[in-house]
A and B are shown apart, each in its own frame.
Chain A
């Protein structure tokens, strides 16, 4: 391994390895915990800011040459924003003492960073799966029954997505003899490219493969959701940008996502689910930009991913504060929180205006770049779709959510409001300041954009500011006129997961019933044949045992019993534990190879 590149994921993997062995009373000390968990993101940030582009971290694994560190402008900008949001997310979590949260959070971040710097599909796959397993624990961190169920659904869904990717990369290897992760030209695409694309699209939440997202994210733990909203979909945006830019199917799918997400957010009641649908919508802009595939739209997609990670993290932090303080994020139960949690409202509004593309905030300088690029490429219908989505975004996230949570028709929230830990405010302050700074000084962000354009995009022209103000101002008027109609109701809205559940039931019927039948028969056979044989052998060994070996074996019997106990502990029949164990083993093997290779 080259010494000149400290892989940004390394610190997080080290944290995940070390944290379980830190004594509990030491871990409870906030200062020590803060030092430990803030070092990895700071190291990662230092690494991405100082490294020179190139190929690092070559590794022999499974008989292949793997590239762990492909460093270029595209991977660096994603690495940079991932490090920043990991730092903010860790600060937001600091009041928590659960080690599981930090360990799985760190593994999750490591998975995202690993994918971004991966130079081949095997490495992508390994980190992809690491991300998928560890994020399940961030969902379970909520500790509710519905989060446990949602976690299993999420895991099954991502396993299927991962299998598409795995099948695609193996078939590609068979056809081309290489695991290289490069651009696939759309006009000569083969079936394996489509399989890989499908695997990526599951994580990018491309409609109709998106329903895992609004199912799982609103049920995740308060701080877990902050991590999750940044990494899974944006890693998918990165790999799509790397491997599938210029695919027209993505241009259309992305615009559909942008509109679909806002339509569902318009009728949703749960604040965090509104935000989840808006991830689908916002990622839609990025997918569309990647699909159109000009330097301008791809820069727009990358810039928007950067801005989105910041403001979406801030939105989830704000609604997380509400959930933390009053125990619910359902708009029909909220209202009148503005006077109780004024600073939460302030930072939430910074994020809400950012996502809406309001001048002064970072969404304005990134969203309009993608739309401008679409117009420049003469994709008028796509541009119109994105403008409609912009209207819907402001109506739902910019006005509806804060209106019903912080104001409503209640003068003051009647229930008890738990005090928000200071570290949560600090995290929101950092994130919100970045949103504003990038809006005011777009060059802060633009200088890192990976693709060269002939004429750079200038967001701050009089006409653009005027158009954006008109669009948002009159969207606000539309809300004002429909404020009674739009009042949220405590209902669940059917989405594509309705069909997933049916598929699940069919698979259950097709697979489990025959297996249960087989198991039943086997038990009967074993009882009649196997048991009789065992009894006879037993009688024989008992005689042998009594006659001679008793004294010798006693010692080993104890050790066998102890091993058995340990085994019984591991075999708790709780799928969560099996999953964690499998992940630990997998990582252990990978580490050994990394270290020895």
Chain B
């Protein structure tokens, strides 16, 4: 069973381009649905706009990764044996 499942994953991995297309289509469909269904009175005010939570996730995710990896980590990263010396 483990081998079959492993091979299935291998099979899916080899077709990663298809999965990428599926992913982008799903994102598009979600925004599309959000245009049709959106709250009448939103919690924050601006989250009534379609796709707000998508934009929120994208922007905060990008900002988090880029700020932490490019600015903060160079300041606080040390060699792995830093505390051992």
A→B interface (CB under 8 Å): 262-263, 266-267, 338-340, 342-343, 345-346, 375, 380, 383-384, 387-388, 391-392, 395, 407, 411, 462-463, 466-482, 485-486, 489-495, 501
Contacts and interface: CB of A to CB of B under 8 A. Distances in A.
B10 A491 contact: no
Interface in B55-85: 55-62, 64-66, 68-70, 72-73, 76-80, 82-83
A470 B61 contact: no
A263 B68 contact: yes
B77 A489 contact: yes
A411 B34 CA distance: 38
A265 B9 CA distance: 27
A485 B70 contact: yes
Most chain B CB atoms below 10 A, which of A470, A479, A482: A470
Given A463-B39, A469-B30, A478-B65, A493 B76 contact: yes
Say what secondary structure dominates the interface of chain A. helix
Contacts of A263: 64, 68, 72
Interface of B: 2, 5-10, 13, 23, 26-27, 30-31, 33-34, 37-39, 43-44, 47, 51-62, 64-66, 68-70, 72-73, 76-80, 82-83
A466 B33 contact: yes
A383 B47 CA distance: 13
A475 B59 CA distance: 8
A463 B52 CA distance: 12
A339 B6 contact: yes
A357 B48 CA distance: 21
A45 B53 CA distance: 40
A491 B53 CA distance: 33
Nearest to A501: B83
A391 B61 contact: yes
A466 B72 CA distance: 33
B82 A342 contact: no
A478 B69 contact: no
B79 A475 contact: no
A501 B84 CA distance: 12
A536 B37 CA distance: 99
A78 B8 CA distance: 40
A492 B47 CA distance: 38
Nearest to A469: B30
Given A266-B68, A493-B73, A494-B76, 10 more contacts: A338-B6, A338-B9, A340-B6, A342-B6, A472-B57, A475-B57, A477-B27, A479-B61, A481-B62, A485-B65
